[in-house]
A and B are shown apart, each in its own frame.
Chain A
């Protein structure tokens, strides 16, 4: 392990500091690239965690269900202040956006569908559609390592769109196939990974 240049003595932040930072993350976070953003704030700026502490947490939340930002707030909160820290980090991150979207929701249903709101939302939904499509490309780039991955993508798509199965069932069907296909192979890969480790 690296020797960390810790400018501060290792004293965990107060709960209110945790709450303030995650409320800030909550209202300033949009779309992608968020994990890098959180790492910059928590590791580089505040120095609450070292990379050796942060990166395993990132690996964990990428593997588990749920948004990475949400998982990271729980992981970081717990790491710094225990279970209470998790709760504080999560609730302070979610509450401001929650109030804001509820306000926008009431506005939407109250204003109803006038020609103005219709025209405005036509543009916003079209842009949101483009944004989602860009996520397909980004995810696909990481996912496709061979022709079988393309098959897995299309199988998943067909089970949702053609068979109208709910996502949990789709995962139960496709995940065993996908994990079997990507199972650790003895031989080449193992040599590579042990070689990289040392």
Chain B
């Protein structure tokens, strides 16, 4: 049990400091650790939990809490909550401390030409990582023609309309429940 706590803390604090471009870029690592390396959950469960966290309000990376919860679920209710708490703290605190520290030097940094360089350099990397994350989600979530159509429609809606993503996911769930159950 203590080992699971330490694994959660180690994994998510490392990912916290690597999440250049937002939490979603570390999703591939989270998936690899939770499903393959530590075997906390199945592939399907990971994708389900990710989708639940996306459909719920809050910063997009609340899936971290759910991974912590599932990793410790077999130890009982309170330990599951504790696991979720440890994972969440490990994900949010290290990057926040960095903001706090870096803020002190930011004034002298802001005008540096390297700032733009680094910003432009980060973007293709985070794009590649989000692409890898999408690949993982697609592999499990698209398993039939109806799900493929729904994903394509969702993509088109996100690109071409200003629909609220939470509303969209809710409607997709309702439609799918109505037709596929």
* Chain B proximity of A6: nearest CB distance (Å): 22
Which residue of the partner chain A has the closest CB to B136?
Answer: A161
Is there a chain B Cβ closer than 8 Å to A93's Cβ?
yes
Interface residues as binary, A137-175 with B (CB distance below 8 Å gives 1, 0 otherwise): 101101111000110111111001100101110110011
Specify which of B99, B118, B151, B176 is in contact with A119 (CB 8 Å cutoff).
B176
Number of residues on chain B facing chain A (CB within 8 A): 113
Chain B residues lying within 8 Å of A96, measured Cβ to Cβ, are 58
> For the complex, would chain B's binding face be called helix, strand, loop or mixed by DSSP majority?
helix
When the two chains form their complex, are residues A166 and B32 in contact, meaning their CB atoms are under 8 A apart?
Answer: yes
Shortest B53–chain A CB gap in Å is: 6
Mark contacts of B15-33 with chain A using CB atoms, 8 A cut-off: 1 yes-contact digit, 0 otherwise. 1111111111110110011
The distance from the CB of A154 to the nearest CB of chain B, in whole angstroms, is 7
Interface string of A75-98 (1 = CB under 8 A from B): 100100001001000100110111
Give the docked Cα–Cα distance between A150 and B107 (Å). 33
**CB contact between A66 and one of B81, B84, B92, B129 (< 8 Å): that residue:** B92
Give chain B interface residues in 136-181, CB to chain A under 8 Å. Answer: 137-138, 140-143, 146-148, 150-159, 164-166, 168-170, 172-177, 179-181
A63 to chain B, nearest CB (A): 6
A184 to B156, CA, bound (A): 37
Task: Please report whether the interface of chain A is mostly helix, strand, loop or mixed according to DSSP.
Answer: helix
Using A116-B177, A156-B129, A174-B125 as known contacts, say yes or no to A125 and B47 having CB atoms under 8 A apart.
Answer: yes
Q: Does A46 contact B (CB under 8 A)?
A: no
Given the interface contacts A26-B57, A65-B95, A71-B96, does A144 sit within 8 Å of B103 by beta carbon?
no
Given A156-B125, A178-B121, A183-B117, CB of A66 within 8 Å of CB of B98: yes
| Chain B residues near A144 (CB-CB < 8 A) | 124, 127
Pick the contact of A156: B88, B114, B132, B169 (CB < 8 A).
B132
Minimum CB–CB distance from A130 to chain B (whole Å) comes to 3
Closest to A142 in B: B123
In the assembled complex, the Cα of A102 lies from the Cα of B116 at a distance in Å of: 39
Q: Which A47-77 residues have a C-beta within 8 angstroms of B? A: 56-57, 59-71, 74-75
B181 touches A119 (CB 8 A): yes
List the B side residues contacting A181 at CB < 8 Å. Answer: 121
> A127 vs B151: C-alpha distance in the bound complex, in angstroms?
5
- In the complex, the number of residue pairs spanning A and B with C-beta atoms less than 8 Å apart equals 354
| A69 / chain B contacts, CB cutoff of 8 Å | 59
Q: Which of A60, A140, A171, A174 contacts B102 (CB 8 A)?
A: A60
* B120–A145 CB distance below 8 A: yes
Interface bits A95-132 vs B (CB < 8 Å: 1, else 0): 01110111011101100000110111111111111111
A119 and B180 contacting across the interface, CB-CB below 8 Å: yes
In the assembled complex, which residues on chain B have CB atoms less than 8 Å from the CB atom of A179?
117-118, 121
Whether A94 pairs with B181 at a CB distance below 8 angstroms is no
Contact of A127 among B107, B114, B138, B154 (CB under 8 A): B154
Bound complex: CA of A192 vs CA of B50, how far in Å?
A: 44
Shortest CB–CB separation between residue B124 and chain A, in angstroms? Answer: 4
Considering the complex, give the chain A residue whose CB is closest to the CB of B107.
A56
Seed contacts A101-B52, A126-B150; 9 additional CB < 8 Å A-B pairs: A29-B57, A68-B22, A106-B77, A128-B154, A135-B130, A156-B129, A161-B132, A166-B32, A168-B14
Please provide the 9 A-B residue pairs with the shortest distance between their CB atoms, ordered closest to farther.
Answer: A97-B58, A123-B176, A130-B154, A156-B128, A66-B95, A134-B158, A143-B123, A184-B113, A127-B172
